[in-house]
Amino acid sequence: MPMNEIIRQRRKELGLTQEKVAAALGVTAPAVNKWEKGTTWPDLSLIAPLARLLGVDPNTLFCFQKELTPQEVGLFVKEVLAAVKGSGFPAGFEMAMEKTREYPGCPVLFHTLALTLDGSLRMSGLSAEERKPYEEQIVTLLERVAEGEEEQPRDHAVFLLASKYIVREEYEKARGYLARLPDRPALDKKQLQANLLIQEGKLEEAGELLERKFLLAANEVQTILYSLVSLACKEGDTSRADQLAEVTREAVALFGMWDYGSFVAPFQAAVARKDGPGTLAVLRPMLAALLTPWEQEKSPLYHHISRKKGEGLPPNFGLQVLPGLLRELDDGQYDFLQGEPGFRELLRDYWAKCEKEKA
């Protein structure tokens, strides 16, 4: 419950008028009225006497209780995503920020919203300049989580902050967050847990656990390969970059991953060479793959988790990502493509698909 509602509710429960509250605190009745409407807030010096007057703890006024359950957070995130889809990213963002002001002491809310907003912002289609103020506020959310006591969300937030500061070229900050991350434990209990479940005859649980473990490892391998391609490009070793890109394509197919991922590394290598025809030759099937849903259930590697409702990428995920990618392709990094025959037509075709989805 937000502060304004707490003040109003407790005042009425105690049979106090706004005038009596004002007199007890040495303020005006209109000031109390504004507090209860939520248009202004009491001065910090008034929090303790106000809490005593209303018979509540100051932490209650500040809503520092962890009042939202993970289920409640999950439902709220769905509302935020619906607002983003229906009214645009700024509307969903403001809705999320209002909730953080209402529950400033709820780490699961801050963590989940930071991840949700970060992903939604990348898919929003906003320009780099338009994204900046939102990115700063998302970083602030992550920093709040990073200072928390709950290990899993804290470490995840620290990881994301280190990643963001590397991209921003703020290397000292990135190094500071990296130093806070624990090394991976030498012993992984999940394999042992799976063995135990198999022995106990709990085959469905064992299958799900092993497949999730495999999917996590496959994603990690894919990410490492992308980084190796990027490294080879920066070193000017285009031959090795192409070889690594081909390894990445084979890995995506072997691990039953989303086909879109098989084009990312070849695209990286072609862009690094400023190869207009080569980049366009990869870009065409890459965009088509982006709009082709990942059919996770076709791979024997994900037999158990693919049957779980809501697992995997949503069918329209590619369309959500597409606007951001198209804006990026208009960035200066891709100037060498601007005069390439068919490039502008390709972008127009896919912008038309975005507009059709909105309609």
Terminal Cα distance for the chain, rounded? 37
DSSP 108-169: HHHHHHHHHHHHHHHTS---HHHHHHHHHHHHHHHHHHHTSS-HHHHHHHHHHHHHHHHHTT
Res 319: pLDDT: 85
- Kindly report the CATH number assigned to the domain that includes residue 18: 1.10.260.40
- Kindly report the CATH number assigned to the domain that includes residue 117: 1.25.40
User: Is 102 among the domain residues?
Assistant: yes
User: Is 187 among the domain residues?
Assistant: no
Res 311: pLDDT: 63
Res 213: pLDDT: 93
pTM: 0.70
- Say how far apart CA 25 and CA 304 lie, in whole Å: 62
User: Is 190 among the domain residues?
Assistant: no
Contact (Cβ atoms closer than 8 angstroms) between residue 44 and residue 34: no
Instruction: Please state the domain count of the chain.
Output: 3
User: Is 197 among the domain residues?
Assistant: no
pLDDT under 50: residue ranges of the chain: none
| Domain of 252, in residue numbers | 206-358
